[in-house]
Homo-oligomer: A and B are copies of this chain.
Amino acid sequence: MHLVKDIGEAGLLAIVQTFCPGQLVGDDAALVSISPGQQVVVTTDLLVDGVHFSLGLAQPGIVTMTPEDVGWRAAAANLSDLAAMGARPLGITVGLSLPPDVPVAWIEGIYQGLAVCLREFAGGPILGGDVCQSDSLSLAITALGEVDPQAAIYRHRARPGDVILATGIHGAARAGLELLLKPAWGEFLTTYQRQTLIQTHQRPRPRLDVIEIIRRYLPTERIAGMDSSDGLADAVIQICQQSQTGAILWAEQLPLVQELPPELGQAWGFYGGEDFELVLTLAPAAAKTLISHLNSQAAIIGEITSGTEITLVSDTETITLDPQQRWQHFEV
């Protein structure tokens, strides 16, 4: 098996360059065209072995992803940040640090995963990057996008009277991680359910499709929001804090993973994170339009209020969320 230390930096770069468009290879930087009237959107994320994924290097015996999954997830997380701003992707750069005893096939796998995810979501090309030896395997991805500044989605633009809309299902990615870390867990799940939950963790899907629908059907609408990469509760808290508003959330309407016991579904769905869905606030009529085009893959989960209190209301109780507290039990 070839290891990275056997092929050196030149060998590494030769592999990496096969994943970049020919005209982008061989200069100190890449040029990217922007459509007239658009601004550039830029976001950078670090993903480190043993923190954001486990290839078994940092924690021997713990393997939650293949190299292809790592590449996919790295691209997906950054594309999700672009979607969170309402932007259209233009491409990514990749900084890859890796220990010398990593198999060369892993590098190809990571870039393969990046390339497949970029293709699937029209994320643009790999615009270049850098490779370097290090003690840990990590990826630093910078994604570039473009957005009409009038149509950009910011966290601070929520207003009282907006409804809060969440796309997709929450908690599945966290459940998938649990299945990978504790294979004996979840014996109440079918094989199909297990595979689906694991897939949601390993291959998250950035919601650029939602942005395309907004661009087509709601091009001039004021929309606030962000992605739910740190959890559904966190997204609502961030939006309210940046907008200086409060919110009421309806516990029965939260789009929680259904395959789990209610208490777990609630904990992981509300607080789990890594689902990479979108949490948006907008006028009720606009939300209705958006949901109709999303084929019900979205739910209105509450509304923005004046004040700064965020309450979660169910048939049997009302709790006030503490922004500093990562997890609060609630009844549904």
Contacts and interface: CB of A to CB of B under 8 A. Distances in A.
Interface stretch (A45-53, A108-116, A248-256): A45-53
A90 B40 CA distance: 10
A147 interface: yes
A16 to B, nearest CB: 12
Interface in A81-98: 81-82, 84-85, 87, 90-91, 93-97
B31 A34 contact: no
Nearest to A90: B40
A34 B45 contact: no
A60 interface: no
Contacts of A203: none
Contacts of A84: 27-29
A33 interface: yes
Contacts of A131: 46
From A45, A81, A96, name the one whose CB has the most chain B CB atoms within 10 angstroms. Answer: A45
A277 interface: no
Contacts of A140: 44, 46, 95, 130, 140, 142
A156 interface: yes
Contacts of A127: 42
Contacts of A58: 135
B46 A42 contact: no
Nearest to A226: B28
Which of A42, A147, A238 has its CB near the most chain B CB atoms (within 10 A)? A42
Contacts of A97: 46, 48, 97, 136, 138
Interface string A4-43: 0000000000000000000000111111111010011111
Nearest to A94: B44
A33 B29 CA distance: 19
Band of interface residues on A: 35 or more
Contact of A28 (B52, B85, B135, B138): B85
Contacts of A46: 95-97, 130-132, 140
A26 B242 contact: yes
Contacts of A143: 29
A46 B96 CA distance: 8
A199 B146 CA distance: 39
A50 to B, nearest CB: 8
A29 to B, nearest CB: 4
A44 B130 CA distance: 6
Residue among A27, A82, A130 with most chain B CB within 10 A: A27
Given A51-B132, A95-B95, A136-B97, A87 B43 contact: no
A144 B40 contact: yes
B27 A42 contact: no
A84 to B, nearest CB: 4
A32 B28 contact: no
A31 B136 contact: no
